[in-house]
Amino acid sequence: MSGLPRHDYERLPRTSLEAQDLPELKRSVSASSWLSTISSRLPGVKTLSERATYTHLVTPRRRKRSILRAIYYTVFAFPYFCAFLVLVAGIFFPSYTHRPAHYVELQQRAANGTEPGRANPYSEKVFIAASLYEGDGQLTSGGWGKSVLQLIDLLGPDNVHLSIYEDNPSEAAMQSLARFRHNVTCNSTIIGEKLDPSTLPRVTLPTGETRLKRIAFLAEVRNRALAPIDHQGVKFDKILYLNDVNFHPIDAVQLLFATNIDSTGRTNYGAACALDFINAFKYYDRFATRDYDGHVTGIPFFPYFTSAGSAISRKDILSQTDAVRVRSCWGGMVAYEAHWFQDQTQFQEKPDNTTTAVQVTSPKQRAPLRFRYEEELFWEASECCLINADLQYRRTGRGMPAETGIYMNPYIRVAYDEKTLSWLNFIRRPERLYSIIHDILNPMVGFPGPNGRLGDEPGQTITHRVWEYDDPARGFAANATAVDRVGHWAEVTTVAKPGSYCGGANLLVINDRPEDGTNGRWHKILVPEPPKV
């Protein structure tokens, strides 16, 4: 080996493949692909098929940037997407915009003539009532007063009696009432007087102090506006009760004569309510509104009612009906069947052998309906809800009848200022879109809240527990501590009245000294409750 030249040696094969003599294979030549053809002619296209072109897109840094970019574009595009939905819904699927044919007919009757009573096709007698409080006469001298005068013209002055009661008016308000009275063309009872709260029934607190319930006061002034109905010698067909709201006169006409008509074209309701708004989106009168199941409403925007229970009210309003079945409503403007509120004995025919000095009274006759308040100390309910409950009970003999006769009419909307009223026809158009978010949010905020007395039938004896402070003077003090609120549970037995679903644990009282400026005209007294441990 040492004698051989260093370069004279043979490399051994490392594998068996290298040791074999393999035939030389011909290279297969395939036809060029369409991508290859294009890439050879167009610069830059070749890179589409190269892996390196996409490698940088899947690096961690690039992936993070892509996600952030997607989030950014989603957030950026979301308002435009919502605006698109609102636009489509408002144009092609507007809510409570296209009114039924008989509504349009009434509107045309009102618009195409000038004779008084042109929008009252059956010449029905209407008693219009309003209890007001206006600081400087802005209602009777403003848009409210103009709308009432136009409404009287549409109904016909011969068919209307207007009753306005204003408590404790200022000098400016009295002057405004006088000017308004001069312009009224129908029979009217317009009263502005000083009402002494001390003359009204009061409740006694556990401390021995007596207070006037706010609802007792409101029921009293509403009843004073209603009182003239029995002194006119006229049998009224309808009552229209107005709050201090801005409204379109034709809407009031349609509420009266178009809500829930039957096959004869006449209305069929015990009560029919408008919807009142504190701004263009927010429904106001939740305190007096209860759905068909007796629950309080949900978040105060469309469709207003929750999905709790049978959800009949919610289903009705989503169906676009003009007669949404409810237990109670008010909505700033409400129409009633008048005969429940008027003494009917004066219209009954007397037998020929009966003298005027002899009158026979049926034991089934009852006093006309009037507003009332809850007499229980720490339990409050709207006087407007209670009168609707009394009406149902009077009509059917049951506290929660299957047919309530109480309807909310979402076509008819009113507002507490003229600007809001001007927006309502526009804002309502896309409101069907809100139903999904409304249904999601209601349980999150606890709507509807619990009511332990829901379902109590009138006449039923009810026992419930209340917390009583051992030392009421200390327990009700504004700066009461947990020690001051020590007490005990006590059982209280009551007899249920109509409207168990209207109330809640609360106490609202009129401020006996409003001049001190601390609590306004009324304030809340907290219900006694056990100290938190």
Return the number of other C-beta atoms located less than 10 Å from residue 224's C-beta. 20
Domain spanning 101-342+365-444: CATH 3.90.550.10:
yes
**Dist. CA 118–CA 111, nearest whole Å:** 9
DSSP string, 127-190: EEEEEE--SSSTTTTSHHHHHHHHHHHHH-GGGEEEEEEEES--HHHHHHHHHHHHH--SEEEE
Q: Tens digits of per-residue pLDDT, 225-261? A: 999 999 999 999 999 999 999 999 999 999 999 999 9
User: What are the backbone angles phi and psi of residue 50, rounded to the nearest 5°?
Assistant: -90, 135
Q: Which helix (H) or strand (E) holds 489?
A: strand 487-495
How many angstroms separate the CA atoms of 391 and 395, rounded?
6
Which residues pair with residue 465 across a beta bridge?
A: 491
pLDDT at residue number 61? 66
- Is pLDDT of 358 > 50? no
The token duo for 517 is: 């400026």
CB atoms within 10 A of CB 198: 8
pLDDT score for 154: 99
The model's pTM is 0.85
Q: In whole angstroms, give the CA distance from residue 379 to residue 173.
A: 34
Q: Where are the domains of the chain?
A: 62-92, 101-342+365-444, 461-524
pLDDT digits (tens, 9 = 90+) for 58-89: 566 666 778 888 887 788 888 888 888 889 98
Dihedral pair phi/psi, residue 401, rounded to 5°: -70, 155
Confidence grade of residue 365 (pLDDT, cut at 50, 70, 90) = low
Closest CA to 114 of 160, 157, 154, 158: 154
Helix-then-strand count for the chain, H and E: 14, 15
> How does residue 427 score in pLDDT terms, banded at 50, 70 and 90?
very high
State the greatest distance between any 2 C-alpha atoms of the chain, in Å, as a whole number: 166
